[in-house]
Amino acid sequence: MTTAGAKDWRSKAPEPMINMAVARACFVRCPGCYNRFSPNQDLISNDDIIDFLRFASSRGVRKLTYCGGDPLTRPNIVELIRRTNALDYKIKLDTVGTALITPAKAIYFGSGDIPYVKLSDIAESIYLFAIPLDGHNSEVTLKFRKGRDELFDEQKKILKLLVGFGCNVVVHTVATQDNINHLNCIGHTIHEIDKNLNWKIFQFSPNGPIAQRTAARYEIDVQDFSKRALEAKQYLSGLGHVGKISIAPVAGREGIYLFIDSEGKAWRPEDSNDQYLGSIVSADDRPKIVEHVIAANINRVKSAN
């Protein structure tokens, strides 16, 4: 029973969300990459993903993030997005975005030529595009995301393309030792692209096997992070920025994720080891996986209160 007037996270309608890596390869190579790459190079099929999503939808899940690697490196990504949209999911696309402006090479956890993806083929099906920008110039940008020399200019071009198309966009910045003193300038760059752009600033998290190995190189103190991120937020308010600015310290993100890797295996990130929950291809495992999606969301709603 709820005490009248008491703050109760249950009163907020929860929106359970799935994080699904639908690709393994990426356009860039981040030494602080947070992903868990499956050792299996074969990707789970569109049919298996859609079957699982139909099941999850019957249990109340309506939101998902397609990530990777980079989801745009998946060979049949347009078809997958359209079929997912037909199931009435709100789709967030967590992508570097490179293929939206040019055919490109996959260079990390995969290789090969990735074709250009026409924005008009997917724009209407995507609820939110999440695009990284970690620097205010090429030098700072390339300290975290390596492998594409023109990345800073490309990210600006991608953001302008999405804004011009009327897409809903959030810019993701991972705050590290390399850019923590440049958050105002990164914010300024975002504001110059469009004053309505949403911006989310993440404290670098040593989460996942790759990021754990490079933690000493990128990790920053939470107090320093909060101070600088707040300063950047205030700086942008002073410029008349309209987009929402969110600040995400590591502590508020614990227990809120469940990852499904590119072969369909579901993992819950733990402090030192990941907990394996099962495969989305298995009818026996699906209920347990969806239960965890809902539990992770409850933690997300709690941490936002």
Provide the binding-site residues for ligand SF4, judged by CB under 6 A. Answer: 26, 28-30, 33-35, 68-70, 96, 108, 145
Measured from the CB atom, is 29 or 82 closer to ligand SF4?
A: 29
Kindly state the smallest distance separating residue 305's Cβ from ligand SF4, in Å: 28
Measured from the CB atom, is 128 or 230 closer to ligand SF4?
A: 128
Measured from the CB atom, is 69 or 135 closer to ligand SF4?
A: 69
Query: Strands, DSSP E only, in 100-168?
Result: 104-106, 112-114, 128-132
Round to whole Å and give the CA distance between 223 and 211: 20
Query: Strands, DSSP E only, in the chain?
Result: 17-21, 63-67, 90-94, 104-106, 112-114, 128-132, 169-175, 198-203, 245-248, 259-260, 265-269, 274-279
Round to whole Å and give the CA distance between 193 and 160: 6
Measured from the CB atom, is 61 or 67 closer to ligand SF4?
A: 67
Q: DSSP characters for 17-53?
A: EEEEE----BSSB-TT------S--SPPPHHHHHHHH
Closest CA to 244 of 168, 299, 166, 305: 168
Measured from the CB atom, is 96 or 236 closer to ligand SF4?
A: 96
Q: What is residue 88's three-state secondary structure?
A: coil
Strand partners of residue 303: none
Q: How far is CA 62 from the centre of its chain?
A: 17
Contact 71, 100 (CB under 8 A): no
Kindly state the smallest distance separating residue 158's Cβ from ligand SF4, in Å: 13
Kindly state the smallest distance separating residue 1's Cβ from ligand SF4, in Å: 44
Q: How far is CA 294 from the centre of its chain?
A: 18
Kindly state the smallest distance separating residue 122's Cβ from ligand SF4, in Å: 18
Kindly state the smallest distance separating residue 71's Cβ from ligand SF4, in Å: 10
Measured from the CB atom, is 82 or 172 closer to ligand SF4?
A: 172
**Residues 204, 207, 212: CA angle, nearest 5 degrees:** 90
Kindly state the smallest distance separating residue 33's Cβ from ligand SF4, in Å: 3
Kindly state the smallest distance separating residue 185's Cβ from ligand SF4, in Å: 21
Measured from the CB atom, is 84 or 207 closer to ligand SF4?
A: 207
Amino acid letter, residue 61: V
